[in-house]
């Protein structure tokens, strides 16, 4: 029986490790400036945790076999454990956990604690059950006022974010259901939520941040290759959570300008 358990544990370990080494289910290609750095630390973490996982499962299987039932001749005796070993692996785990955090925290902080560059493209992202809306400030570069009492999700677009049309700055604001961005330019995202906590997640940009009602969270990222990228909600936000996704289209600066101009013309 001990041998059977050893084989089962080692088989499960080998098969599950294979899927990670073969990258059977893996991340999409990174399409933002920070993606390479994030993937680097992701890989380091995975390798270190992989070694710990294989070693622990290997030993587990071996012990299941070594201390197998040998009939009446083998007497089990109680052990209180080994304090030195317990302290050693607790300290090692602590060093690993804190060390990985310290090494990668500058990448995490660079998207949050440093303000966006002055020329960054500004997009206000609003999450609501179960849709993302994107607002661009228009040629004046200023977002118009929004008011909670004007919010009407059934109208979609401007009504859904509660745009106050009496504010002159709101006249040229654009609200869209698809996010367009020019390639190679920093994008400042201003994240909002109307009802519950949502999480704005663009896997290809390695970008994920909660959108919290009552807060306007500023973050930034730089898309580095054109294409269509999926946006998901990464927070279980209600019954329609599974279909709360959007599209990010990263295009050239010319295409972006043309798209903005066309939306502005439609609005007039």
Rounded Cα–Cα distance for residues 102 and 106 (Å): 8
CB of 57 to Cu ion, least distance (A): 36
CB of 209 to Cu ion, least distance (A): 13
Give the distance from CA 193 to its chain's centroid.
17
Question: Within positions 74 to 103, which residues make up the interface with Cu ion, using CB under 5 A?
Answer: none
CB of 39 to Cu ion, least distance (A): 26
CB of 207 to Cu ion, least distance (A): 15
Binding mask 159-198 for Cu ion (x = CB under 5 A): ---------------------------------------x
Count of all residues that appear for the chain in the document = 268
The reply on whether position 125 binds Cu ion by CB under 5 A is: no
Q: Which residue, 142 or 245, is less far from Cu ion as judged by CB? A: 245
What count of other Cβ atoms lies within 10 Å of the Cβ of residue 144? 20
Q: Which residue, 174 or 244, is less far from Cu ion as judged by CB? A: 244
Q: Are 131 and 177 in contact (CB under 8 A)?
A: yes
Stretch that binds Cu ion, among 166-174, 181-189, 216-224, 238-246 (CB under 5 A): 238-246
Question: Within positions 243 to 262, which residues make up the interface with Cu ion, using CB under 5 A?
Answer: 244
Q: Which residue, 34 or 219, is less far from Cu ion as judged by CB? A: 219
Q: Which residue, 132 or 229, is less far from Cu ion as judged by CB? A: 132
Q: Which residue, 57 or 176, is less far from Cu ion as judged by CB? A: 176
Residue 158 is encoded by which pair of tokens?
């401007």
Q: Which residue, 144 or 203, is less far from Cu ion as judged by CB? A: 203
List 233, 250, 251, 260, residue binding Cu ion (CB under 5 A): 233
Rounded Cα–Cα distance for residues 39 and 203 (Å): 12
Q: How many chain residues touch Cu ion (CB under 5 A)?
A: 4
Task: Tell me which residues touch Cu ion (CB under 5 A).
Answer: 198, 233, 237, 244
């Amino acid at each position: 029986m001990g041998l059977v358990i050893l084989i089962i544990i080692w088989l499960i370990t080998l098969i599950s490790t294979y899927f990670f080494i073969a990258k059977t289910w893996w991340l999409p290609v990174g399409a933002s400036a920070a993606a390479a750095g994030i993937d680097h630390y992701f890989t380091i973490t995975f390798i270190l945790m992989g070694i710990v996982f294989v070693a622990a499962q290997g030993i587990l299987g071996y012990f299941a076999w070594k201390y197998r039932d040998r009939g009446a001749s083998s007497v089990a005796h109680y052990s209180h454990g080994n304090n030195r070993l317990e302290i050693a692996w607790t300290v090692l785990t602590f060093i690993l956990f804190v060390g990985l955090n310290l090494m990668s925290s500058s990448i995490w902080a660079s998207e949050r604690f440093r303000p966006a560059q002055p020329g960054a493209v500004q997009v206000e992202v609003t999450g609501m059950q179960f849709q993302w809306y994107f607002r661009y400030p228009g040629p004046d570069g200023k977002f118009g006022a929004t008011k909670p009492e004007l919010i009407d999700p059934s109208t979609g677009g401007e009504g859904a974010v509660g745009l106050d049309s009496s504010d002159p700055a709101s006249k040229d604001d654009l609200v869209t259901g698809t996010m367009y961005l020019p390639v190679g330019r920093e994008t400042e995202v201003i994240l909002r939520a109307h009802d519950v906590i949502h999480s704005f997640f663009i896997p290809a940009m390695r970008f994920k941040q909660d959108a919290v009602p009552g807060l306007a969270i500023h973050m930034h990222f730089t898309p580095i290759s054109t294409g269509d990228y999926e946006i998901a909600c990464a927070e279980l936000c209600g019954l329609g959570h599974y279909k709360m996704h959007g599209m990010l289209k990263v295009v050239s600066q010319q295409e972006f300008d043309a798209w903005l101009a066309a939306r502005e013309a439609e609005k007039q």
